[in-house]
Amino acid sequence: MEKSPLSFSGKIWRPRSLVLDTHRQLAEAFGLNPIFATILADRGLHDPAAVDLFLRPRLQQLLDPLRLLDMEKAVDRLVRAVEEGESIAVFGDYDVDGVTSSALLVRYFRALGIIIRVYIPDRLTEGYGPNGAALRALAVEGIRVVITVDCGATAFEALAEARQAGLDVIVTDHHQMREVLPPAFAVINPNRPDDSFPHKNLAGVGVAFYLLMALNRGLRQRGWFHAGRVEPDLKQWLDLVAIGTIADVASLTGLNRILVAQGLRVAADSGSVGLQALKQCAHLGGGLRAGQVAFQLGPRINAGGRLHRGMLGVDLLVTEDAERAQVLAEELEGYNRERQSLEERMLRGALATIEAAGGVGRRFGLVVADAGWHPGVIGVVASRLAERLYRPVIVIALDEQGQGKGSGRSIPGINLLAAVEGSAPLLKAFGGHRAAAGLSLEARHLPAFTEAFDQAIQAQFTPGLFDPVLYFDGVVPLMAVNRTFVSHLESLQPFGQGNPEPVVVLENMRVVNPRLLKERHVKCLLIDHQDNALDAIVFQAWPGPLGEGLMASGRVDVAGTCGINSYRDRESLQMVLKDARPVHSSDQGV
């Protein structure tokens, strides 16, 4: 059957991965639908043992934390600090990964009967990572050991000042590093150039959890838990590990898959009053999915750090007072609404600026800047612009002193950091990775940087790069979408980066009774040529070409995810549509 090359959304559909006979045999051996052969292939699962470990992630599969370089050295120093009553501080980042890492350490040391100091820098006035002034102030307070979480890997000057101030700094981080190590007492990072630790994708909170695994063992071996002291059960705090890992968009494979799968189980009925209050504000109940963390809980925790209140999230996640938790959660809710309002205004302004400059047109990389934009929200706006315009985008907030702070997001196939690095002479500072980058520059260099960035992206351009693509896992008949099929899909949870929720295609569907919900969503019934039917919905599609295409009825191929919809104590199979494309009358075959 000949298909329309483009969907209603203007996307080309492509299969996610090629399937080998090995994967077909594995799917059959595990009693899975043939579509799972594609899913197993895409995730690099080539033998029964790998499939079993993937389908049943267990804490026993975690690697020994002492396999990380400097871990033993860090544990010895912390054991000595605990035994001798030295003051300890944690220096965290202001994003969700840093906030959950900080809260994790606070809750662990509290269980030991030790109160540690927490320092979260102000995003706008101090910026990312350790700074000398803050570390010197901690030394003056009497702190002797500082643990950085989700930061510190490249803070050479600040850590040198900390050493001069008499601080022993243990860096725990996961960001890319230089060949030379920073001047810290210990540097624990799976991405150390000289570290052979095989799992490089741990989030900052995952590295912090690994530190506590080793520290707990070290204290046990030194006899700390004798004489009536109770050894903490680290499993109770895996909810924090799951939230931080998901929110940091870390790959949900390997060790992360184990930590997040177990952490979401803890979060489903967590005794943490802070998390419960946050779930209540987000109108979430019962079990917790990775998508709910990424799009509902994560932004709320992040909102404080974006708007000058980085400690707010830590306070919420460590409090044991239910009333205080509710107050803090509602405060974060207010900041999140403010962030959403700022984001929408900035997004509209950025789109208007791009349109006034002639639209995307022949431009390869987009740079937009404004003096009225809030620097705490530029990353979110850059992400939305890149997704909407399918171009690498850098959004820059300018201040009254003529200084600009920028944040960029890329698309598949473009190394954003490399493109930014090519303009290094025009920049005061920059950093990041392939998919995201941050920078600062003087406003007078903005025109030259805009031109240089566009040229740098053009140098990486390949044909088809800017063609929006929807990747799907396979084509299935509608009659195969039953509860058994959906339960097998659920066994692949948690979904996220590195383990996307499977997208299936149903071909030649008749759209029946399409209708609008809340003036934004389109709900309909899909019926095949044998009169099998399935409920379907597409969110945030009206007004727009996808919603309008479905409302016109007719026959379509659809692509989406399959699951169970629970509404008013009634459960039913439902497909959440990602896209649809028309089936021409001459191609219908019925």
- In this structure, the strands spanning 168-172 and 145-149 are parallel
How far, in Å, CA of 229 to CA of 223, rounded?
A: 10
What length does the chain have?
590
335 backbone dihedrals φ, ψ, rounded to 5°: -65, -35
Summarised one tens digit per residue, pLDDT across range 535-549 is 999 998 888 899 999
Residue 518, Cα to own-chain centre: how many angstroms?
Answer: 28
pLDDT(3) > 60:
no
How far, in Å, CA of 437 to CA of 408, rounded?
A: 5
Q: What is the mean pLDDT of residues 391-406?
A: 93
pLDDT(36) > 90:
no
CATH fold, domain 61-333, is inorganic pyrophosphatase (n-terminal core) (3.90.1640)
pLDDT(425) > 80:
yes
Amino acid identity of residue 475, one-letter, is V
Helix H or strand E encompassing 181: none
Residue 536, Cα to own-chain centre: how many angstroms?
Answer: 27
Tell me how far apart the terminal alpha carbons of the chain are, to the nearest angstrom. 12
Residues 6+ apart with CB under 8 A from 15: 38, 471, 472, 473, 474
Summarised one tens digit per residue, pLDDT across range 7-35 is 998 899 998 887 778 888 998 898 888 88
Which token pair is 275? Answer: 């998390």
- The residue to which tokens 């510190």 are assigned: 152
How far, in Å, CA of 267 to CA of 274, rounded?
A: 11
How far, in Å, CA of 137 to CA of 82, rounded?
A: 22
DSSP 340-387: HHHHHHHHHHHHHHHHHTT-STT-SSEEEEETT--TTTHHHHHHHHHH
Which token pair is 1? Answer: 């059957």
Q: Is 408 left (phi over 0), alpha (psi -120 to 50) or beta?
A: beta
Which token pair is 269? Answer: 């009925």
Q: What is the pLDDT of residue 53?
A: 86
Burial of 362 per CB tally in 10 Å (0-12, 13-18, 19+): exposed
Reply yes or no: is the peptide bond before residue 34 cis, omega within 30 of 0.
no
B/e letters for 155-180, b = 16+ CB within 10 Å, e = fewer, are beebbebbbebebbbbbbbbbbbeee
How far, in Å, CA of 426 to CA of 448, rounded?
A: 8
CB 546 within 8 A of CB 556: no
Summarised one tens digit per residue, pLDDT across range 205-248 is 999 999 999 999 999 999 999 878 999 999 999 999 999 999 98
CATH fold, domain 357-460, is Diaminopimelate Epimerase; Chain A, domain 1 (3.10.310)
As a whole number, the mean pLDDT across the chain is 91
How far, in Å, CA of 404 to CA of 402, rounded?
A: 7
pLDDT(590) > 50:
no
Q: What is the mean pLDDT of residues 93-112?
A: 95
Reply yes or no: is the peptide bond before residue 447 cis, omega within 30 of 0.
no
Quickly state the pLDDT bin for 588 (edges 50, 70, 90): very low
Which token pair is 198? Answer: 């095989």
- The residue to which tokens 């493109």 are assigned: 419
Domain ranges for the chain, please list them: 1-16+469-590, 18-55, 61-333, 357-460
What are 504's strand-pairing partners?
Answer: 474, 560
Quickly state the pLDDT bin for 519 (edges 50, 70, 90): confident
Residues 6+ apart with CB under 8 A from 463: none
Kindly tell me the sign of the dihedral angle through the C-alpha atoms of 80, 84, 86, 89: positive
DSSP 441-502: EEGGGHHHHHHHHHHHHHHH--TTTTS-EEEE-EE--GGG-SHHHHHHHHTTPSPBTTBPPP
| Helix, strand, coil fractions of the chain, as percent rounded to 5 | 45, 20, 35
Ranges 2-6, 29-33, 520-524: which has the least confidence:
2-6
Summarised one tens digit per residue, pLDDT across range 332-341 is 999 899 888 9
pLDDT(436) > 90:
no
Q: Which CATH class is domain 1-16+469-590?
A: mainly beta
Q: What is the mean pLDDT of residues 454-479?
A: 92
Amino acid identity of residue 142, one-letter, is G
Q: What is the pLDDT of residue 4?
A: 52
Quickly state the pLDDT bin for 5 (edges 50, 70, 90): low
Quickly state the pLDDT bin for 46 (edges 50, 70, 90): confident
What would the 3-class secondary structure string for 185-199 be? Answer: CEEECCCCCCCCCCC
Quickly state the pLDDT bin for 1 (edges 50, 70, 90): very low
How far, in Å, CA of 183 to CA of 160, rounded?
A: 6
Neighbours of 260 (CB within 10 A): 30
Query: What whole-number percentage of the chain has pLDDT above 90?
Result: 66
More confident residue, 331 or 519: 331
